[in-house]
Chains A and B, each alone.
Chain A
Amino acid sequence: MDYDVLVIGSGIGGMESSIKLADMGYRVLLVEKEASVGGRMILLSKVFPTLDCASCISGPKMSSTVNHPNITSKTFSEVESIRRTEDGRFVATIREKAKFVDWAACTGCDMCQKACTVAVPDQFNANLAARRAAYIAFPQAVPKKAVLQREGTSPCIGACPAGIKAHGYVSLVRSGKYEEAFQLVLDATPLVGTLGRACYAPCESECTRAKLEGPVPIRLIKRFAADRHYESADGSPAVEVAEANGRKIAIIGSGPAGLTAAWQLARKGYAVTILEKRDQPGGYLRHAIPAYRLPHDVVDADIANLTALGVEIRCNAPVTDPEALKAEGYDAVILATGTQVATRMDVPGEDASGSVNGLDFLAAVANGQAPDLSGKRVVVVGGGNVAMDAARVSLRLGAAEAKVAYRRTRAEMPAHHVESKDAEAEGAVFELLVAPTEVIVADGKVTGVRMQKMQLGAPDASGRRSPEPIPGSDYVIDCDLVISTIGMSPDPTPFATLADRRGRISVDSKTLQTAVPYLFAAGDVTAGATDITRAIGSGRRAAHMVDRWLNDQPLDGFTALDDRLETISQDSVLARQTAFGHRHPVNGEVSLQKFPRDFSEIEAPLTIDQARAGAGSCLDCGVCSECQQCVQACPAFAIKMDQRDKLTELHVGAVVVATGHKLFAADLKPEYGFGKFANVITGMQMDRLLAPTRPFNTVLRPGDGKVPDRIAYISCTGSRDKTVGNPLCSKFCCMYSIKQNQLIMGALPLADVTMHYMDMRAAGKRYEEFYTQARDMGAQYIKGRVSRIVEEPNGDLLVRYEDIEGGGGIVEASYDLVVLAVGIQPNREVERLFGETPLGLDEYYYVAEPSAEISPGQTTIPGVFVAGTASGAKDIVDTILHAGAAVAQVAAHLEHQHFTEEVMA
């Protein structure tokens, strides 16, 4: 048996049970779902009727709990299930939730919390204030250790094939940490400026804010960070680099995959040489994407990140013999040559002058060899992004007409919607449901394209409906230039032996290693035409694997993409919001004109205000943004983003359920306006306002920070109330209200405190005297229920109530602040604990005690006991005595178990 007793919950009942059992010599396993022991009591101000500080009572018990030699406390853990075995013992499955912090190393210094860029409501301050996603539960937490709240991968990050932490840099920009935002992207790829412009931003499509007013302008926020960095860049390396390790890597191709792989390897200390067959680096970033979308100086600035680290880029250096590279002393080679072969139309006349493929056309323009198309008519065949680029470039070169001929309809067009829309806005014309059958040539020059009309037939393998020719529907589009953009594929030479039948280099998709061990391949050369993000993701992967391979490590551990937490669903993000601030969407401004004549960048950057406002609309879907600030701030290197939940099965002799209660959700009484009226708060919130560790330095009303003069209490909020399904009395609310009444009169001597009550239930040792004391201090107690609260324009609250003792009339009174004395609700998490033979509950879902009078604490399952409010309303004193009763019976159960065992043996 691993432990004698499992105690679930470390509130006052759980701690009391654990300490007493441990004092008796039993080995106790205490499981607590929060990061600290202590439950709710440690969050209170003072406790009735002695007015001891809650901390002074709870704090030392918390300390005794975690320091007791017989208690093993697992905080931030949950009991997944408990099974009773045939011998009357129990097997408990414990989930130690990932904290993403190595608690053995964490010193509780708070630096992560200070560095964190995400703020969420602080449940330990009853949501009156915010805490960070990296947090220590509260100042008196025991153990005082930090936790990162990660609810999953944010959808924007989950959507990024490059594994770039979009949420992270958005969060950093929101916090004004612009350079850190740039650095976060730079950690993945040097192509920060490029992505800020030319990325198709799958992150924005997944952005949860898109379901409300419109997505966070994630791409433009990245561009903002990049532009800001490059404005002051001086050519020195932007990152720290590991010491040279003496190893050499050759990378063939300088597109996004090759550049990214080079970047990652150079930072690890490798001597990297990029071999580029063209005379300028950048691959399709420079040679295919037109400058009005991605200016060449931006590509240059991105590449300068790389060269600043000493990466050599050899242009005009086509590779013909990879084995020669090995012989030259390169330890590994990464092939990243992309898709260099344009797909042919295979129609007559295709090779005539005036008929080009889009890749050659765009590359020529990029290299300053743009043809003059003034007054020319251009037909672009194809419907992808390259087609749009070719049409729009043609228009900029003076074309009088740019027709895009596509064989299906607009809906099937592979180009991104924004691209086709912008192309149209600039003057491109779409000819849809047509396919070329011949390039018409006269005098060696193109004069037109013969087109055949098409119709859509049955869906093909990709799900798109296949175009079928309509016989006899030929016609000719007159033109001077035909640009074909119907696809591209890798050029496997000189690696043909490694390529599949489509010319793609065959690799293991996880390791990117080819059949030749030292040869890895990354990007489109392995996958066919994709996009920049996938190329970058692949480049990162290749660099990681090459490094592993050269260090004789197993080819795994690529956490950036292979070990992400499950992406959190947008619905759950929306469901957890209590209120939405409406945010005007921030959109980029693109200046489009018909027949543009220059190649200047068409999209305007975000202003600093736009960038921060846009970033400010982020909903922090995964909570932690993965911005890495805590990782860098932690002096103990304790942040472990790769930590995961751990399940353990443990054998125990008995179980104490001390799972406590929930507080009534006050918004279920809409007539009191909680959640709607800022100055209506709960009793728990008032306790926080009064506590020594209070969020503000005084009692104030949340609406406007005013120190209240007239404070009303409404007792029995959610208790003794059949309208909310709870006829039970919660027992402690009268008393905590009286306590708060006294504390308020101490803190705010001029304030008037009035309590609207049904019956004052000051039942307990010295409770009545405590009530008398409050009345003597000047608190007013008015019998009668409150029927409604109305908010006045200045935030004051008009309370409508029955004044029974004053004659029974309906009266209205204005207050600055209303405190709802909310009561107790069952914590229904216990229902799932015992699986198929569940713990017996009473009709109000509290743990049933079949013999409440003679064996308080006994439940329906032998060996399972209950301590505290899990079995119904109790104040702290009653909870402690109830725990004592449970302990005596747990011990009796264990003694009997030992005895039986000895007899049997």
Chain B
Amino acid sequence: MSTEAVQPGADQPEQRRIGVYICHCGGNISDYVDVNAVREALAEEPGVVVSESPVFACSDGTQHDMIDAIHDQHLDGLVVASCSPKLHQVTFRNVAKRADLNQYAYTQVNVREQASWAHPHDRAGATEKAIGLVRAGVAKTRLSDPLEPLVVKTEPRTLVVGGGIAGLRAAIGLADLGIAVVLVEREAELGGWTGRFGPTFPDNRLGSDEVDELVEQIRGRRDITVYTRAELTGKAGSFGNYDVQLTLHREGSDKLLEVRVGSIIVATGFDSYAPDEGEYGYGMDGVLTLPEFKAMVDAAPSGPLTVNGRPVRSIGYIYCVGSRQEAPGNEYCSKFCCTATVHASLQVAALDPSIRQFHVYRDIRAYGRNELLFNESRDKGSTYLKFADDNPPAVSKLANGTLGLTVTDLLTESREVMLPVDLVVLVTGMVPRQNTSLVELLKLPLGSDGFFNEIHPKLRPVETVVDGVMIAGCCQSPRTVGESVAAGLAAVAQSAALLKKGFAELEPLVARVDPDKCTGSGACLTTCPYEAITSIQWEGRTIASVDPATCKGCGGCVPLCEQDAIDLLGYTDAQMRAAIEELVAAQPQKEPVA
């Protein structure tokens, strides 16, 4: 492995030839940071032979300019000061690769989030900070050593966590591509929410039928192994070769199973919002949540609809229960519930067109083609009443035992109306499922809404910051059946793109032990959360050794070594010290233009 040959910072490097690009990012940076001042300041830095400020560093044109500069100016280092490395580190590493420059001689400096967006009202200060940050990036780059990615063979097998519609479809999609699948489902039955549904939109097929068909297909696939009443309980290794531990809950005792997989798709779904007791009358006889109502309608024979033995002659729907509000519930919109409710109301109309239906809503979000269902429901007699965000409806028990739904209707000149109804449906949305152990195990990032977070909704929409761990379906955000399936298949495509090559390139930014300095104190051994450090015998002595494929480069071991025998490749002590020195150095000689 070529990392072995590298002696980081062993000798003082000769003068480097570094190219620096300060991106305008359209105006995201240049509106708040004087990029020309940054460029001029950097041009004077030792070792900087190119200093440019393109409008879009990531554009194809600028990428070509960089490649030309690397060739023509014989650059051996590249620094782009632009956005977060999450966005474009890969982009510019690829530029370096295309120009035959070692990709680890590239450093991304984030002046967008850290200078321009952080200090939008202080141009001089933001500029000064940007100069410091870029100088630090240059200092780090000056001491960079060429590194090669660790190439590991990958296991052509994917673990799918969750046997709902997204997980089932993903499993088939993977098997179609020749990737073996292990699917674990916590419940005894496959199918999740959809498997319990009657008709779904837009295809109007029974959710249970859709699931049955997928399960039937899976049965015929030898390359899909399904474990129900099973959970993911352990994970070791790294992308391409995860050793996962499955716990099978079996009569009497749990059984443990170890499987090696290349990647993991998490499709653990959602929970339905559970209203508080008394929230819009929840708990009263005849007040149901959307899933409860859907189950009731799906289960109804050809009519009439009854609740607790009473015939239902009228229904009131209260939308956005638990959604689009600060408390109780959630700020976010659950996206699917408007259309799901409209769709269910059409089922009711089909059962018995004489049932009166009142929809008490804020905005009907029947987006796209779903608008047709919304139109149809009105054609079939549904009445829509809109309430103001700050004036929600109320549910009461009427003397005759039915329910009273009181609403101030914006659509009829804000008149207060009281609708006597037999049934009140609380249109509840989706909430993130409590999966604490899974989150901790996989180190899955959560968004502010509690759902799993992708790296970037447009650039890497199914990937998480954990390499090889993808998310799909409603565990990521509320969505419909079709959208969940699309996300599941997108995760299939992403997973296959990674695994079909047969090998993966891992970051070589790992800890390394200097055997001459190591005294074998063992202080580092216990700190490693990945168990990447072991004791070995070397020239008659016991020293520590890091397995580069297991090491995640977290750096946790580095400061613990009293002998300073551990360094982190790509982020060596010397590099970090040089970067920090630049950051704390005197003010830039040149006053930035305010």
Using a CB–CB distance below 8 Å, which chain A residues touch chain B? 12, 20, 23-25, 47, 50, 52-53, 55-57, 59-64, 66-67, 108, 139-140, 142-144, 691-693, 720, 727-731, 759-769, 772, 783, 804-805, 807-808, 851-857, 872-874, 876-878, 880-885, 887-889, 891-892, 895-896
CB-defined interface of B410-432 with A at 8 Å, one 1/0 digit per residue?
A: 11111000000000000000000
Contacts A67-B98, A884-B486, A885-B486; A729 near B333 (Cβ below 8 A)? no
- Tell me which residues across on chain A come within 8 A of B386, comparing CB atoms: 783, 804
Tell me how far the C-beta of A308 lies from the nearest C-beta in chain B, rounded to whole angstroms.
Answer: 46
- Tell me which residues across on chain B come within 8 A of A66, comparing CB atoms: 60
Q: Of the listed stretches B269-277, B475-483, B516-524, B571-579, name the one at the interface; the rest are far from the partner chain.
A: B475-483
Tell me how far the C-beta of A781 lies from the nearest C-beta in chain B, rounded to whole angstroms.
Answer: 10
B493 and A891 contacting across the interface, CB-CB below 8 Å? yes
Contacts A56-B87, A853-B482; A874 near B494 (Cβ below 8 A)? no
Question: Can you name 10 A-B pairs with beta carbons within 8 Å?
Answer: A24-B177, A24-B493, A60-B91, A140-B60, A729-B370, A851-B203, A852-B202, A856-B482, A873-B369, A895-B176
Tell me how far the C-beta of A113 lies from the nearest C-beta in chain B, rounded to whole angstroms.
Answer: 15
- Tell me which residues across on chain A come within 8 A of B55, comparing CB atoms: 139, 692-693
- Tell me which residues across on chain B come within 8 A of A884, comparing CB atoms: 461-462, 486-487, 489-494
A766 and B458 contacting across the interface, CB-CB below 8 Å? no
Residue among B213, B335, B410, B497 with the highest chain A CB neighbour number at 10 A: B497
- Tell me which residues across on chain A come within 8 A of B26, comparing CB atoms: 53, 55-56, 691-693
**Does B178 sit at the interface, judged by CB under 8 A?**
yes
**Does B457 sit at the interface, judged by CB under 8 A?**
yes
A761 and B413 contacting across the interface, CB-CB below 8 Å? no
B169 and A854 contacting across the interface, CB-CB below 8 Å? yes
CB-defined interface of B154-192 with A at 8 Å, one 1/0 digit per residue?
A: 000000000000000100010011100000000000000
B58 and A56 contacting across the interface, CB-CB below 8 Å? yes
Tell me how far the C-beta of A657 lies from the nearest C-beta in chain B, rounded to whole angstroms.
Answer: 16
Q: A768-B323, A884-B493 are in contact. List 7 more A-B contacts (CB 8 A).
A: A62-B60, A729-B369, A731-B367, A766-B449, A808-B413, A854-B203, A887-B493
Tell me how far the C-beta of A791 lies from the nearest C-beta in chain B, rounded to whole angstroms.
Answer: 31
Q: Of the listed stretches B237-245, B358-366, B586-594, name the one at the interface; the rest are far from the partner chain.
A: B358-366
- Tell me which residues across on chain B come within 8 A of A804, comparing CB atoms: 386, 410-411
CA distance A690 to B39 in the complex (A): 26
CA distance A144 to B335 in the complex (A): 40
Tell me how far the C-beta of B475 lies from the nearest C-beta in chain A, rounded to whole angstroms.
Answer: 12
Contact of B481 among A67, A853, A872 (CB under 8 A): A853
- Tell me which residues across on chain B come within 8 A of A20, comparing CB atoms: 493-494, 497
CA distance A20 to B449 in the complex (A): 29
- Tell me which residues across on chain B come within 8 A of A55, comparing CB atoms: 26, 56, 58-59
CA distance A885 to B483 in the complex (A): 10
Using a CB–CB distance below 8 Å, which chain B residues touch chain A? 24-28, 55-56, 58-61, 63, 83, 87-88, 91, 94, 98, 169, 173, 176-178, 200, 202-203, 205, 210, 213-214, 323-324, 331-333, 335, 338, 363-372, 375, 386, 388, 410-414, 447, 449, 451, 456-459, 461-462, 476-478, 480-483, 485-494, 496-497, 500-501
CA distance A140 to B496 in the complex (A): 31
Contact of A889 among B87, B364, B489, B491 (CB under 8 A): B489
CB closest residue in chain A, given B94: A64
- Tell me which residues across on chain B come within 8 A of A807, comparing CB atoms: 413-414
Tell me how far the C-beta of A540 lies from the nearest C-beta in chain B, rounded to whole angstroms.
Answer: 42
Contact of A728 among B58, B88, B176, B371 (CB under 8 A): B371
Tell me how far the C-beta of A376 lies from the nearest C-beta in chain B, rounded to whole angstroms.
Answer: 78
5 smallest beta-carbon distances between A and B, as pairs: A884-B490, A692-B26, A892-B176, A885-B489, A765-B477
Contact of B335 among A763, A881, A895 (CB under 8 A): A763
Contact of A761 among B169, B365, B480 (CB under 8 A): B365
Contact of B88 among A60, A808, A887 (CB under 8 A): A60
B60 and A759 contacting across the interface, CB-CB below 8 Å? no
Tell me how far the C-beta of A821 lies from the nearest C-beta in chain B, rounded to whole angstroms.
Answer: 14
CA distance A47 to B205 in the complex (A): 35
B459 and A57 contacting across the interface, CB-CB below 8 Å? yes
- Tell me which residues across on chain B come within 8 A of A896, comparing CB atoms: 176
- Tell me which residues across on chain B come within 8 A of A693, comparing CB atoms: 26, 55
- Tell me which residues across on chain B come within 8 A of A59, comparing CB atoms: 56, 58-60
CB closest residue in chain A, given B492: A888
CB closest residue in chain A, given B95: A63
Tell me how far the C-beta of A743 lies from the nearest C-beta in chain B, rounded to whole angstroms.
Answer: 11
CB closest residue in chain A, given B460: A880
Residue among A763, A856, A883, A884 with the highest chain B CB neighbour number at 10 A: A763
CA distance A882 to B461 in the complex (A): 11
Residue among A728, A881, A882, A885 with the highest chain B CB neighbour number at 10 A: A881
CA distance A763 to B497 in the complex (A): 30
CA distance A55 to B56 in the complex (A): 8
A766 and B461 contacting across the interface, CB-CB below 8 Å? no
B363 and A891 contacting across the interface, CB-CB below 8 Å? no
B490 and A874 contacting across the interface, CB-CB below 8 Å? no
B59 and A24 contacting across the interface, CB-CB below 8 Å? no
B458 and A729 contacting across the interface, CB-CB below 8 Å? no
A852 and B335 contacting across the interface, CB-CB below 8 Å? no
CA distance A727 to B486 in the complex (A): 25
Tell me how far the C-beta of A447 lies from the nearest C-beta in chain B, rounded to whole angstroms.
Answer: 86
- Tell me which residues across on chain B come within 8 A of A855, comparing CB atoms: 485
Tell me how far the C-beta of A4 lies from the nearest C-beta in chain B, rounded to whole angstroms.
Answer: 13
Contacts A768-B332, A769-B332, A853-B203; A873 near B458 (Cβ below 8 A)? no
